[in-house]
Amino acid sequence: MATRELAEFAAAISYEKIPAATIRKTKQCILDWLGVCIRGSQEKPVKIIRDVLLEAGGAKQASILDGGGEETSALQAAFCNGAASHSLDFDDLHNPSIIHLATVVIPPVFAIGEAEHKSGRDMLAAVVAGYEVGARVGESVIPESYFYWHTTGTAGTFGAAASAANLLGLDTEKMTQCLGSAGTQAAGLWEFLKEGAMSKTLHAGKSSYAGVLSAYLAREGFTAATKILEGEKGFCRAVSSFPHLEKLTAGIGEGYKIDENSFKPYACCKHSHAGLYAVQVLRQEHDLKPRDIAKIELLVNNITDFLINNPSPKNPYGCKFSIQYCVAGMLKYGKMGVEQFAANVIDDAEVRELMSCTEVIKDDAIEAIIANNPSKLASKVVIHCKDGRIFEKQVDYPKGDPPNPMTWEESVDKFMSLAAPVYGKDISIKLCRLVDRLDESMDFATDFKECMA
């Protein structure tokens, strides 16, 4: 029974069992998430979600991280903060499962951690448990399910449930029931991308909410399918014609999935990052300017082609899922942060001209890379200059992937750039220090409120 075996492992994860290097990586995941969540809370889709949820009221148990000091129920706080952390497409990614795990795993931990006055050590263990389950479920249905199903919304719901259940101290039996309730709520379809609509934030928020709800229900004795993953009418067979059920438990206990996690230096879809990093390097090495370029060829895998091959995006969110816009913007600006996707920037004439001479090509050799190693979201860039020069670069691991990591200091810089405009420098520094020393916190609710003072 794969579901039960996974539940047993997740329920047993504790701070004392986790290596120091993994604890450090977990803190980096939390810090990265927190900055993206805080800045993402200012986006229109998140404000709509927050206003609709808070209109119904709710016990003041946990904080909404938008700078306003609002408190609501743990359920609604997880929803709001989950949505906020997925609104910028600046959040982390576990490449093999193609899930933005922080957006669904950490909101439940912050909400329950504050509502239930949990310790920092318990919260760190819960995050590790959530990443473990979410990643394994995602890997079991990738790549076949990805054409229709947004993995963060589907498999991510299991990660949210596991982190919430671990933090509440649920045993194997109740963790299994929790996963069952989560699985029957899992959803998230890609159709919204055609219009650049707001649904992606809803997926992360709803997954976070479902995880918290499932854990609290299980704690009270609510039952659900105990074979929700491997069952005949369970999750894996429902979203994939060829599920890889062995990946649910293969190598379990031989390290932790969170160690494989990647961070984003660019505020857009991760499938564009290999191409972006290649262009960034070529631009720096050869002092390339938009006026130098005659043609750009982007050799990509199948997922990158069907997901972000968008030659004429109409709005900022569409631009985040247009590899043409991302690459053209990198050539002009040398970076692709939040500002480069602003509504008053995306129609820049020079960038649009570069997009018009950019060709996206499905390439068998690049597809073979991801087929052989799902952690390699590779792309190859060929730049043809007007003076006849040709530059090319293939990137298997862009900046932020474990073989090409972001340092703690780089994560701090990213956090401060996102959090300080919302909370101010002083509070942001205190929040950063809280995450850095989270295992010293005996009562997260108390320590968090001290940061806000």
At residue 350, the 3 state secondary structure works out as: helix
Considering the chain, what percentage of its residues have pLDDT values greater than 70? Answer: 100
d(CA 280, CA 37): 26
φ, ψ of residue 117 to 5 degrees: the values are 55, 50
Q: Is residue 40 over pLDDT 90?
A: yes
d(CA 147, CA 22): 32
For tokens 């997880």, the residue is: 78
Q: Is residue 58 over pLDDT 90?
A: no
CATH topology of domain 270-395: 60s Ribosomal Protein L30; Chain: A; (3.30.1330)
Which of 296-327 are b and which e, b meaning 16 or more Cβ less than 10 Å from the residue's Cβ? bbbbbbbbbbebbbbeebeebbbbbbbbbbbb
Q: What is the CATH number of domain 2-260?
A: 1.10.4100.10
Average pLDDT for 52-75? 94
The partner residues of 255 in beta bridges, in order of sequence, read 253
Question: Over the stretch 80-136, which tens digit does the pLDDT of each residue have?
Answer: 999 999 999 999 999 999 999 999 999 999 999 999 999 999 999 999 999 999 999
Segments making up each domain of the chain, as ranges: 2-260, 270-395
Helices 20-40 & 74-84, crossing angle to 10 degrees? 80
User: How far from 451 is each of 155, 310, 424, CA to CA, in Å?
Assistant: 33, 43, 12
Q: Which pair of structure tokens corresponds to residue 102?
A: 């922080």
Residues 6+ apart with CB under 8 A from 422: 38, 39, 41, 42, 66, 67
Q: Is residue 260 over pLDDT 90?
A: yes
User: How far from 426 is each of 38, 315, 431, CA to CA, in Å?
Assistant: 15, 34, 9
User: How far from 427 is each of 5, 26, 69, 120, CA to CA, in Å?
Assistant: 42, 21, 12, 19
- Strand 358-362, strand 293-300: pairing: parallel
Query: Within 194-301, where are the H helices?
Result: 199-219, 235-239, 273-286
Question: Over the stretch 174-219, which tens digit does the pLDDT of each residue have?
Answer: 999 999 999 999 999 999 988 889 999 999 999 999 999 999 999 9
Cβ–Cβ < 8 Å for 155, 133: no
Q: Which helix (H) or strand (E) holds 294?
A: strand 293-300
Question: Over the stretch 144-168, which tens digit does the pLDDT of each residue have?
Answer: 999 999 999 999 999 999 999 999 9
User: How far from 63 is each of 8, 35, 109, CA to CA, in Å?
Assistant: 30, 15, 12
Residues 6+ apart with CB under 8 A from 349: none
- Strand 379-385, strand 293-300: pairing: antiparallel
φ, ψ of residue 199 to 5 degrees: the values are -60, -30
Question: Over the stretch 316-370, which tens digit does the pLDDT of each residue have?
Answer: 989 999 999 999 999 999 999 999 999 999 999 999 999 999 999 999 999 999 9
d(CA 51, CA 71): 13
Q: pLDDT at position 54, please?
A: 93
Q: Is the pTM of this model over 0.75?
A: yes
For tokens 């050869």, the residue is: 286
